[in-house]
Structure 1
Amino acid sequence: MGKLKTRLIIAFVSIIFLPILITGTALALQSSQLEQKDKTVSQSYQQMEEWLREQLSKREISQVNIEEAVERFSTEVKVTENGGEIIYQSSDNISAAESSAVTLPPAEFEVTSQEGHLYTIEMRTQANLSRHILQSIFISVGLGVAALITLIIVWTWYISRTILLPLREIYRATEEVREGNLDYPLTYKKKDEIGRFIKGFNTMRLHLKQLKEEQKQYESSRQQLIANVSHDLRTPLSSIKGYVEGLQDGIADTKEKQDKYYQIIRRKTDQLDRLIEDLFQFSKMELNKFPIHQELVDSQAFLQDVLEEFEMEAEKKGVELSYQKPIPSVTLSIDPERIVQVITNLIENAIRYGAKSLEVNAKVSEQGTFQLAVHDDGAGIEAKEIDKIFLQFYRGEKSRSRELGGSGLGLSIAQSIIQQHSGQIIVQSKPNKGSTFTLELPLFMK
């Protein structure tokens, strides 16, 4: 049962039963006091009767000071001789039997004096017990009502402070969030349902704030991308146009110059091709239509063919590429084309940023994953840049990236591919000492 529900149940139970308990207790105490009073009156009555019997049995009524006894025992007395003539009456109202008076049994008795006179004695007390009973009831009920009102006030204040006030703050916070203010934290220290709700609300608020910041950064990056791509596309196009015009105008009048012009044009078109391909892949990611078609492959056969091809390509560019032989043979569930795309991106990045040698190692880790590590001796990456290199549109050295034709999308696309294979890319790098990119993929379990 939740703490909030427990508090509400306690509130309702205490409001219902505590006033009843207080009223009952007060009535019990008042009843005890009435019983004590009744006992006291009974004792006074009995003492008065014994005194009168003793006095009247020894002397005549005229010789007995009844007034003194009436005052001492607080009892009204009426004496009748031989059942007729009233010879003594302590109060004019005693015969009227007032409703406020209580007659205690026996109400009357007879005494014969030593001269033989028969006296009938009637006694009543003036104890107003009915008034005391009503007073006791009123006091008891009053205490119960007072307790009820006090509990209602206390619980209303408590619930208002612990439930209604936080709810009001939550409503105010939702209005702030609706207006776009995500810097409006809610504070609530209790660990009840409302506390958990407020904690969830703050988590949601922070998540929305993070998403808003990421969206803002994303939009800024998109705008930067448009500016960069516009410049990056214009630069090689301008170069290609210039060299084509040079060929047309006959500036390249020797075979050697023509071959150089063609080589430059080829390099610039390759640069354009990389930019356009990155943008095409990015558009697929944006539309959530990044296709992954997994199939079972043998790691050794697959990587042997891929790395042999890369080895020849690297050699043409004056880069030494070596890889471990034999490559471990395990079964992987991958999209071969996409994994080749990732490896291509890592190797081309290394070559583009100054690597002269590349080393590729594959192994099966103790955790049961297949790891492919690509190590280069290139420029390396600053520690503060490592967490950013997988961000879309991010380019560490912008001037150099533009010169080399980078769009800032390659590693982001590579990471997306590996994540869709339930794997990850691990980066280790130091400036001027090279980098190691490790692809970690799960093994296929039959």
Structure 2
Amino acid sequence: MKWGLKPRLILAFVTIIILPIVASVLFLSVVSSGIEARSGNEDELDLLLTQVKDTVEQNAEYLAEPDLFYEKVRPLLKKYDVGLQIFSPNGESLFNSADYQPSQESSILLERLGKFTVDVTTQGQGKLSAEIQANSLSVPPFSQFKEIIYAVIGAIVTGLAVLGALVLLWTWYLSRTVLNPLKEIYVATEEVIEGNLDYKIEYRKQDEIGRFIHGFDLMRNHLKKSTEQQQQYELARKQLIASISHDLRTPLASIKGYVEGLEDGIARNEEMQKKYYRVIKSKTDQLDRLIEDLFEFSKFELEQLSIEKSLVNSREFFREVFQVAQLEYQDVDLVLADPLPSVSLNIDGGRMKQVMANLIDNAVKYGGTNIVMKVERLPGFVQASIKDNGQGIDGEDLGSIFKPFFRGEKSRSRESGGTGLGLAIVKYIIEAHGGEIRAESHPGKGSEFVFTLPMYVK
């Protein structure tokens, strides 16, 4: 059974109150039963009071002579070690044994427990009052009072001992199960502040503190992953800056060289000049793609990449995309699989054309000479795929191709001028439309990019 923190605190509170009381009561019960067993069946105190009453009645005639009266009652007083004082009906003291026992001890305890009064009826003196005062609690019947006092004190001491033991026990237990874990949490917090995100708290109990520590560990792990991702992101950003610097410098250097060649008259005939112009145009197109990717990604990072949706027919949309691609890539065998489903899609046509253009361009750029574009209708979705027969993607790179700035070894072509941002932007646009995208590839056998778009439902 697993106890939570609250039940444990309640149990500690109850046991600290109840167990000392139970221990005291048990101790008092055991000792009291022993006192009763030793006292026997006859009540010695009643016997004493009866004997005092009888003795005073029998010797009341000697009260006029206190010395003689003392001699008559002295054996009884000595036997029980008590003092005797007799008062007349009007409260006058007729006899006081203290006059004959000057060494008599006195204490508050004796005053409270060892003083008794009995009424004595005499013929000559009338109704007298005899007050008995014990001189000691060591002689029966007053010894029972002493034993009872010791029993009460023992019960109190026992209760306090149990209370002290419970306080120490619960203090140790709660310190180990509550205070120590809280200290560990504090230490872990300090470690996290210092940047140590691998510090783990060892606590196995499934109580409130355990759940708190579990939440703390989840936060720490999330922070660790976020930090690692941020570090990877910063590393990729630095690599991107270095890469973009090179990618921008290369076409600019080429453009500059060809322009200088034209200025210097190196291109002496029209055919060579046209060649120079084609190269310059190719390099400016490459620069334009680089700058466009960076511009799009800056809006993507700032979550300002606008998505303006409108209703389009899927068949008309994908057929238009295919026809534009046919005109642009006339040297590639581009195939559109039939039939095309005709359903309503609520999409941003411009952004989705950007997605298709990026995927087809990637397929052509990395060796695809036979590209198949296929669109299917699924329950609630339209699924589109772009399949090529290019060089494919390494398995270790396949899981990272949609990350910003990622460029696999085979795609680090300076001729392509890729930034590693295109597929990240594609993924963002697809997900902004409520769809998903994935890639399947086998090195040397080509790749297939598959994405879905939800159908419009009125």
Normalising by structure 2, we get a TM-score of: 0.79
Instruction: Give the match for residue 211 of structure 1.
Output: 226
How does 1:208-287 map onto structure 2 within 5 Å?
208-287=223-302
CA distance in 1, matches of 2:73, 2:264: 163
How does 1:162-173 map onto structure 2 within 5 Å?
162-173=177-188
Equivalent residue letter for 1:350? A
Equivalent residue letter for 1:327? L
Say whether the 8 Å CA contact 1:307–1:323 is kept in structure 2.
Answer: yes
Say whether the 8 Å CA contact 1:371–1:439 is kept in structure 2.
Answer: yes
Say whether the 8 Å CA contact 1:355–1:376 is kept in structure 2.
Answer: yes
How does 1:8-87 map onto structure 2 within 5 Å?
8-38=9-39, 40-42=40-42, 83-84=58-59
CA offset at residue 20 of structure 1?
1.9
CA distance in 1, matches of 2:202, 2:346: 48
**Higher mean displacement: 340-349 or 292-301:** 292-301
Equivalent residue letter for 1:377? N
Cα deviation per residue 1:384-408 (whole Å; 9 max; x = unaligned)?
1001111111111277432211111
The structure-2 alpha-carbon separation of the partners of 1:2 and 1:341, relative to structure 1 and needing over 3 Å to count, comes to: farther
Cα deviation per residue 1:164-218 (whole Å; 9 max; x = unaligned)?
1111111111111112221211111001111111111111111111111111121
1:403 aligned counterpart, secondary structure: coil
How does 1:131-210 map onto structure 2 within 5 Å?
131-210=146-225
1:361 aligned counterpart, secondary structure: strand
Equivalent residue letter for 2:363? A
Equivalent residue letter for 2:448? T
When the two chains are superposed, the root-mean-square deviation of aligned CA atoms in Å is 3.1
CA offset at residue 247 of structure 1?
2.5
CA offset at residue 89 of structure 1?
4.7
CA offset at residue 95 of structure 1?
7.1
Residue correspondences, number: 397
2:177 aligned counterpart, secondary structure: helix
1:402 aligned counterpart, secondary structure: coil
Q: Which runs of 5+ in 1 are unaligned?
A: 49-75, 108-123
Say whether the 8 Å CA contact 2:44–2:141 is kept in structure 1.
Answer: no
Say whether the 8 Å CA contact 1:79–1:89 is kept in structure 2.
Answer: no
Instruction: Give the match for residue 102 of structure 2.
Output: none
CA distance in 2, matches of 1:379, 1:87: 131
The structure-2 alpha-carbon separation of the partners of 1:325 and 1:94, relative to structure 1 and needing over 3 Å to count, comes to: closer
2:367 is aligned, of 346, 351, 354, to 354
Instruction: Give the match for residue 78 of structure 2.
Output: 92
The structure-2 alpha-carbon separation of the partners of 1:313 and 1:231, relative to structure 1 and needing over 3 Å to count, comes to: same
Cα deviation per residue 1:344-366 (whole Å; 9 max; x = unaligned)?
11110110111001001111235
1:42 aligned counterpart, secondary structure: coil
Matched, 1:373 2:348: no
**Higher mean displacement: 210-219 or 425-434:** 210-219
Say whether the 8 Å CA contact 2:296–2:305 is kept in structure 1.
Answer: yes
The structure-2 alpha-carbon separation of the partners of 1:77 and 1:41, relative to structure 1 and needing over 3 Å to count, comes to: farther
Q: Which runs of 5+ in 2 are unaligned?
A: 60-70, 85-109, 121-138
1:7 aligned counterpart, secondary structure: helix
CA offset at residue 45 of structure 1?
10
Say whether the 8 Å CA contact 1:415–1:425 is kept in structure 2.
Answer: yes
Matched, 1:394 2:406: yes
Say whether the 8 Å CA contact 1:4–1:192 is kept in structure 2.
Answer: yes
CA distance in 2, matches of 1:43, 1:283: 105
Instruction: Give the match for residue 118 of structure 1.
Output: none
CA distance in 1, matches of 2:213, 2:81: 78
Cα deviation per residue 1:25-75 (whole Å; 9 max; x = unaligned)?
33333333333334x1528999x9xxxxxxxxxxxxxxxxxxxxxxxxxxx
CA distance in 2, matches of 1:442, 1:2: 49
2:152 aligned counterpart, secondary structure: helix
Say whether the 8 Å CA contact 2:366–2:411 is kept in structure 1.
Answer: no
1:437 aligned counterpart, secondary structure: strand
The structure-2 alpha-carbon separation of the partners of 1:93 and 1:277, relative to structure 1 and needing over 3 Å to count, comes to: same
Say whether the 8 Å CA contact 1:338–1:417 is kept in structure 2.
Answer: yes
Instruction: Give the match for residue 363 of structure 1.
Output: 376
CA distance in 2, matches of 1:369, 1:250: 59
2:180 aligned counterpart, secondary structure: helix
Matched, 1:7 2:33: no
The structure-2 alpha-carbon separation of the partners of 1:125 and 1:2, relative to structure 1 and needing over 3 Å to count, comes to: closer
CA distance in 2, matches of 1:32, 1:442: 88
Normalising by structure 1, we get a TM-score of: 0.81
Instruction: Give the match for residue 444 of structure 1.
Output: 456
The structure-2 alpha-carbon separation of the partners of 1:96 and 1:200, relative to structure 1 and needing over 3 Å to count, comes to: closer
CA offset at residue 88 of structure 1?
11
CA distance in 1, matches of 2:243, 2:277: 26
Say whether the 8 Å CA contact 2:247–2:417 is kept in structure 1.
Answer: yes
